[in-house]
Structure 1
Amino acid sequence: MHPRPEPSPAPAPWQRTALGANLLAPDGGLGVTIFEEMTGLAVRTGAINLGQGFPDEDGPLEICEAARAVISSGANQYAPGKGLPLLREAVAAHQERFYGLAPDPETEVVITTGATEGIAASLLAFARPGDEVLTFEPFYDSYGAVIGLAGATHVTAPLAAPDFLPDMAALEAAFSQRTRVVLLNNPHIPTGAVFPRSVLQRIVELARKYDSIIITDEVYEHLTFGISHTPVAGLPGAAERTITISSAGKTFSLTGWKVGWLSGPAELVAAARTVKQFLTYSSGTPFQAAIAAGLALPDDFFKGIAADLERKRDILSAGLRAAGFDVFSPQGTYFVNVDTAPLGITDSVDLARRLPALVGVAAIPVPVFCHPEGAERTRSLLRFAFCKKAAVLEEAAGRLATLSEKL
C-alpha cells in the first residue's frame, strides 16, 4: 500500500489576509500593496503622486487648534473603550442634523481607530468560516483582507463603466442563503459612483430576504457633487440590520488622525465593540475631542469642501481627456477613473508602472481592486486621486496632456 499523503495545511490567518487583498503570489510569496509600490515609484522618479488618496494640505485650522488645546490641557491618556462621550454625542447629533437619524450615543455609537478598524471589527464580529460576505467589485482592498482573515468567502457583484452602477440581476444572483454580510461602500471607491436610492433600497430588500447584516462604509458622505448622500440606515427596513461606518479623515482632510465611528442598533454595535476593544481598545483622545468640534461646523463648511473638490475634479479631468483617456466623471469621493483603451493600451497595470517615468504622474490600476475575473473586466482602467492642491493638479494635468506623444 502507498502511504496516504499528508493533507495540505490550511492557510494561516496572515495568508488568508494577504490572499484576500491580492498580495499573495501563486508561489506563496508575499507582495506589497499597490499603494506602496506606486508611492515608491513616485518618490524615485519625482512624479506627482495621484495614486494614494490622501490630501496634501491640512484640514480646518479650528479643528487643529482644538487638538492642540486638548493636548495642552493634559487629556492625553486612554479614552473610554467606546470613545469620548463628547464625540459620541457629536456623532449622534451629526446623524440627526444631516439625515434625521437619532442613534443613542450611549449604546448605539462607538468611536474607532479610523473607519478601517470599524470595518474590521464589524466583519470579524459577524462573518464566520462558511459564511459569504458580498461586496461590489472593484472593492477596497481592506475589505478582501478582513474577509479573508475572518475565513469567510468573498462574493462580488460587478460595477461596470461608464456609470459603475450595479446590474440588478447580477446583484440578486450574488445573494444566497449563506450571505451573512453585505458590505456596501457608498459613495463608492474606487469608482466614484453614488448609488441612487432605488439601488440602495433593493439591497436592503435582498438583505431582509436572506437575513443578512448590512455594513455600510459611508466615509465619503460629504464628498458628493450635485447629488445628496442617502444613508442606508434611513431606508425602510434597514435600521435593525445596519451598521453605519464613517470617519473624520476624508471629510476634514485629517487622514492621519484615524478617528472613525460606527453606529447602529445596540445589539449589533455591542458585538462589533466586543471585537474592537481587543484591537486597539481606544486611541487618539485629543483628536477625538477636536473632531467633536469639527462635526459641529456650519453647513457652509460641508458644502464648501464638496464644491472645492468638484473644481479639482474638473481640473484633473481636463488633463486626462487631453491625454487621450476616456474619463468617467465621478459623482462622489476624490477619485476619477479613466479607460486607457483609446490610447491602444489595454494593460493598466503595466501603464501605471511606466507612467511616473513617462510623464511624472503616478496612478493606481483598477484591476488590483478585483478578483481575477473582475481584473480582466477592468484591465484597462486607471484611478487618479484629485484631493491635492489646485496648483499640483494643474501641473499634473499639463504633464498628462503630453502622454500621447511620449507613448
Structure 2
Amino acid sequence: MSATAINSSTTLSLSQRATQTKESQIREASRYCAQFGAINLAQGLPDFAAPEALKQAAQDAIAADINQYADTWGLEALRVAIAAKLQRDNGIAVDPDTQVTVCCGATEGLNIALMSIIDPGDRVLIFEPFYENYIPNLATVGGIPEMLVLQPPQWEITAEMLEPYFQKGLKAVIVNTPANPTGKVWTRAELELLATFCDRYGVYVITDEIYEYILYEGEHVSMFSLPGMAERTIVVNGFSKTFCVTGWRLGYTVASEALTAAMRRIHDFLTICAPAPLQQAALVALSFGRDYYIQMAADYKRKRDLLYSALEAMGLSPVLPRGAYYIWTDSSALAEDADRAAFRLAQEAKVAAVPGNCFSNPKRQHVNGLRFCFAKKDSTLAAAIAQMQKFRL
C-alpha cells in the first residue's frame, strides 16, 4: 500500500498508563524557584556535598575502567555487603546470591516489585498522605490504589481502619517508613497489626525504607524481619538519601528467592544493570562506621528543629516528624487549597514547598497541607526562615 493510500484521518492515541501519569508536582514546585527567585524547600534534593570518600571512590572506579555492564543482579561484593548490613542493622538474614538485587534507584526497585506481583485490576493499599510516585507506579501496571487516610499528628492505624480495605480484596500493601511526606515512623505494634491482616488475607507487602537511617524518635523496624513475613515482603531501599547521592540512582530490593527471581527477570530487560562504577563506590559507603549514621541523624534533627520553629511561628501548625527529612504543615492559613497556598508562598514569601495535592487522592476536591524539605545547608535554611519571618499571613 502506498503512503498516499493511508487514511490521514486515523487518530493516534496514547496508552491509558500515559494519560493517567501526570507531571511531578514536586519537580513543578522546584520550577517555582526559577520563576519567582524562591528558595527551594520543595524537592528532596540536598544542596550540600556527598561524603568526600564516596565521591573519590566513584572517580577511582571510573579511572580504573569499571565502566562496562556490571552483573545484572548487582556487583557481587556489594550484594554481600548489603546482606551484612541487613543482618547487622535489621536483624534480617538473606542470601546475597538469590535474594538481593541492585537496581537503578529505589524508584526502579518499587516498579519491578509492582510488575512482579500486580496484574491489571489488582487492588493495592497505600496510606495517605503518600509518596507521589505510588499513583503513577500503580498506573503502569494497571493496579488500583486504595487510599486509607491517616490523621495528624500521630498518623496511626487501627484494626478498625484496616478491616474494610482487606475485606474488599487486596493484592498488596505499600508501607513507607520513615514516611515521605509526613515523617511517620511505623511502630512495631502497627507493623505487627498490619502483618496479621496480610497473613490472614494472603496479601503482599512492599516496604519502602529509603529513609531508614534518618530517624529521630523510635526505632526502624522492617516488615521483612517480622515472623512469617519474609515470604510475602519486598524491601525497597537505596543509597540516595543516606549518602546524599540522589543523582546516582542506586537502589536495591530484598525478597524471597521466588520473588527475587521474578524481579530480576524484569530488571534485566528494563535497565540491565545499575551504574557499574557507582556500585563499586557504594562499597565504600557501606563501610562507614556507626558514627556516620549517628552524626547524620543529629545534623538532620538540628535542621528539623530550626525549620519546625519557624513554621510554627508563621502559623502553619507543623507536625513534628519522627523520621525522614520533611515537615508536613497545615496550609489553610495561606489559601483554601494547597496548590494555591504553595503558589502564594513561592510568589510572596519566596520559599517553595510542595502542595499536599501531590500526596493525596487525585479525585479530592480540596486538599490541605504543605511539605517542606530541610535537607539543606544551614545557610539555605537560615535564608528561607528569614524570608518567612518577613512574610505575614
TM-score where L is the length of structure 1: 0.90
Contact 2:123 2:170 in 1 (8 A): yes
> 1:368 and 2:358 equivalent?
yes
Matches within 5 A, 1:276-355: 276-341=267-332, 343=333, 345-355=335-345
- Rate the CA distance shift 1:352–1:81 in 2: closer, same or farther, 3 A: same
CA distance in 2, matches of 1:328, 1:17: 35
CA distance in 2, matches of 1:312, 1:344: 24
> 1:396 and 2:384 equivalent?
yes
Aligned-partner SS, 1:320: helix
Amino acid at match of 2:348: L
Aligned-partner SS, 2:172: strand
Alpha-carbon offset, residue 202 of structure 1:
1.1
Alpha-carbon offset, residue 17 of structure 1:
4.9
Structure 1, unmatched stretches of 5+, are 1-8, 24-31
What is aligned with 1:16?
17
Amino acid at match of 2:97: E
Contact 2:72 2:272 in 1 (8 A): yes
What is aligned with 1:261?
252
Deviations 1:105-134 (A, max 9, x none): 100000010000000001011100121111
CA distance in 1, matches of 2:19, 2:182: 23
Contact 2:355 2:369 in 1 (8 A): yes
Aligned-partner SS, 2:28: helix
Contact 1:138 1:367 in 2 (8 A): no
Aligned-partner SS, 2:288: coil
Contact 2:374 2:381 in 1 (8 A): yes
1:386 pairs with 374, 380, 389, which one? 374
What is aligned with 2:72?
81
CA distance in 2, matches of 1:159, 1:189: 13
Amino acid at match of 1:160: Q
Alpha-carbon offset, residue 36 of structure 1:
2.8
1:180 pairs with 171, 177, 195, which one? 171
CA distance in 1, matches of 2:328, 2:145: 24
Contact 1:322 1:400 in 2 (8 A): no
Query: How big is the alpha-carbon RMSD for the aligned residues of Structure 1 and Structure 2?
Result: 1.7
CA distance in 1, matches of 2:263, 2:386: 47
> 1:357 and 2:325 equivalent?
no
Contact 1:386 1:393 in 2 (8 A): yes
Contact 1:134 1:183 in 2 (8 A): yes
Alpha-carbon offset, residue 373 of structure 1:
5.9
Contact 1:182 1:213 in 2 (8 A): yes
Alpha-carbon offset, residue 182 of structure 1:
1.1
CA distance in 1, matches of 2:35, 2:357: 24
CA distance in 2, matches of 1:177, 1:368: 26
> 1:43 and 2:34 equivalent?
yes
Contact 2:187 2:219 in 1 (8 A): no
Structure 2, unmatched stretches of 5+, are 1-10
Amino acid at match of 2:100: V
- Rate the CA distance shift 1:317–1:180 in 2: closer, same or farther, 3 A: same
Amino acid at match of 2:246: T
Amino acid at match of 1:150: V
Deviations 1:201-231 (A, max 9, x none): 1111111111111111100000010322111
Moved more, 42-51 or 247-256: 42-51
CA distance in 2, matches of 1:321, 1:374: 26
CA distance in 2, matches of 1:346, 1:165: 26
Amino acid at match of 2:381: L
Taking only the aligned residue pairs, the percentage that are identical comes to: 35
- Rate the CA distance shift 1:287–1:375 in 2: closer, same or farther, 3 A: farther
Figure out how many residues of one structure are paired with residues of the other and give that number: 382
CA distance in 1, matches of 2:356, 2:45: 17
Contact 1:137 1:374 in 2 (8 A): no
Amino acid at match of 1:141: E
Contact 2:103 2:267 in 1 (8 A): yes
Alpha-carbon offset, residue 155 of structure 1:
0.8
Deviations 1:240-289 (A, max 9, x none): 11111100000001000011000111101111111111110112101011
CA distance in 2, matches of 1:274, 1:169: 38
What is aligned with 1:33?
24
Aligned-partner SS, 1:160: coil
Aligned-partner SS, 2:270: coil
Alpha-carbon offset, residue 374 of structure 1:
5.4
Amino acid at match of 2:352: A
Alpha-carbon offset, residue 387 of structure 1:
0.2
Aligned-partner SS, 2:269: coil
Matches within 5 A, 1:96-107: 96-107=87-98
Alpha-carbon offset, residue 158 of structure 1:
1.2
Amino acid at match of 2:347: A
Contact 1:369 1:375 in 2 (8 A): no
Contact 1:338 1:382 in 2 (8 A): yes
Alpha-carbon offset, residue 101 of structure 1:
1.2
What is aligned with 2:59?
68
